[in-house]
């Protein structure tokens, strides 16, 4: 049997896949329908230049993987040469995507539950990955559920956080950005994502792209723009995604609803990139 020391990448992928497939909390409240299908997992070198570029693109407040580990484990005195980032994509299952595809003003109940309870499951996965890595004798932290995580106002991208799961997934070779600013992966833009930072040395996943918008039909061929039509709040235009308008619309539909309607996600369904990389992309 392969040991963690011999092939940590394979062991980590298997651990994440098993957790997603076996956990009952991946189907809470939806009569047995899983929120998420088999995940995608990628790895990035924590010293990748991209993590410094994110400080320029998002804001100086955006943490690098090294900052995450140093601040989380200030008592650790060993060198920080071999650091890695684990990133995963949780593709939203087909029945849930189909239910949201039919909507035009607000999310379906199944999509809303996935946004709420599915993200709770994703937090469980974050904790599980951290616990598993620590159980192998290494350091690990999931930034989004750590005391370091915070929301900030950026001069360039507006309201954001100091650790972007989507940007980390981009660095780990898992996808590129869309006009709606979602991440288009090989299993589509309808997904949620997570990550953890560790001092396990992992082989980085190669990036099959050099353009951060490579998989988006609107950017690479001037076609599509379907997400503009799908956005009921007018937050997506040819200029991109307006976070403030998006947030305002989501607040409005939440206030008008008696259900647990959170988010929206209409721009992630009923579009060519919903469940994969659209054809005719670079």
Note the pLDDT tens digit of each residue in 239-267.
Answer: 999 988 998 898 888 777 765 667 799 99
Is residue 281 included in any domain, yes or no? no
Is residue 282 included in any domain, yes or no? no
How many domains does the chain contain in total?
1
Residue 279's region, left for phi above 0, alpha for psi from -120 to 50, else beta, is beta
- Tell me what pLDDT residue 3 has: 87
Backbone angles phi, psi at 152, to 5 degrees: -140, 165
What six digits make up the tokens of 153? Answer: 């106002």
Residue 122: closest CA among 231, 16, 30: 16
Is residue 26 included in any domain, yes or no? yes
Is residue 240 included in any domain, yes or no? yes
- Mutual orientation of helices 8-22 and 119-135 as an angle, nearest 10°? 140
Q: How many CB atoms lie within 10 A of CB 24?
A: 9
Is residue 25 included in any domain, yes or no? yes
- Tell me what pLDDT residue 154 has: 83
Q: How many CB atoms lie within 10 A of CB 239?
A: 7
Is residue 250 included in any domain, yes or no? yes
Is residue 280 included in any domain, yes or no? no
Q: Find the helix or strand (DSSP H, E) in which 44 lies.
A: strand 40-45
Give the HSE-up count for residue 81: Cα atoms under 13 Å, Cβ half-sphere.
2
- Tell me what pLDDT residue 255 has: 79
- Tell me what pLDDT residue 32 has: 86
What six digits make up the tokens of 92? Answer: 């939203």
Residue 81 sits at the vertex; the CA angle it makes with 147 and 203, to the nearest 5 degrees, is: 90
Could you read off the pLDDT tens digit of each residue along the chain, which spans 282 residues?
778 999 999 999 999 999 999 999 999 877 889 999 999 999 999 999 999 999 999 999 999 999 999 999 999 876 788 899 999 999 999 999 999 999 999 999 999 999 999 999 999 999 999 999 999 999 999 999 999 999 988 888 778 899 999 999 999 999 999 999 999 999 999 999 999 999 999 999 999 999 999 999 999 988 999 999 999 999 999 999 998 899 889 888 877 776 566 779 999 999 999 999 998 765
Range of the domain at 139: 8-268
Spatial distance between the Cα atoms of 99 and 237, rounded to a whole number of angstroms: 24
Q: How many CB atoms lie within 10 A of CB 126?
A: 23
Is residue 27 included in any domain, yes or no? yes
- Tell me what pLDDT residue 260 has: 60
């Amino acid at each position: 049997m392969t040991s963690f020391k011999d092939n940590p990448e394979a062991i980590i992928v298997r651990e994440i896949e098993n957790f997603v497939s076996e956990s009952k909390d991946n189907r809470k409240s939806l009569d047995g329908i899983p929120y998420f299908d088999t995940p995608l997992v990628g790895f990035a070198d924590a010293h990748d230049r991209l993590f410094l570029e994110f400080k320029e693109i998002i804001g100086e407040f955006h943490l690098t993987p090294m900052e995450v580990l140093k601040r989380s484990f200030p008592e650790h005195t060993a060198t920080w040469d071999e650091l890695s980032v684990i990133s995963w994509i949780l593709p939203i299952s087909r029945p849930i995507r189909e239910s949201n595809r039919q909507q035009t003003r607000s999310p379906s109940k199944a999509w809303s539950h996935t946004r709420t309870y599915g993200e709770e499951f994703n937090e469980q996965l974050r904790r599980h990955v951290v616990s598993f890595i620590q159980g192998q004798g290494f350091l690990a932290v999931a930034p989004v559920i750590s005391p370091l995580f915070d929301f900030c106002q950026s001069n360039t991208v507006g309201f954001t956080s100091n650790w972007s799961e989507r940007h980390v997934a981009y660095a780990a070779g898992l996808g590129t950005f869309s006009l709606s600013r979602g991440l288009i992966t090989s299993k589509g833009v309808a997904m949620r994502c997570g990550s953890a930072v560790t001092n396990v040395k992992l082989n980085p996943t190669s990036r099959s792209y050099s353009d951060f918008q490579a998989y988006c039909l609107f950017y690479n061929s001037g076609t599509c723009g379907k997400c503009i039509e799908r956005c009921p709040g007018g937050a997506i235009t040819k200029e991109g995604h307006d976070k403030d308008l998006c947030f305002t619309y989501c607040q409005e539909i939440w206030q008008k609803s008696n259900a647990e309607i959170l988010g929206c996600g209409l721009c992630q369904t009923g579009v060519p990139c919903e469940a994969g990389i659209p054809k005719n992309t670079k």
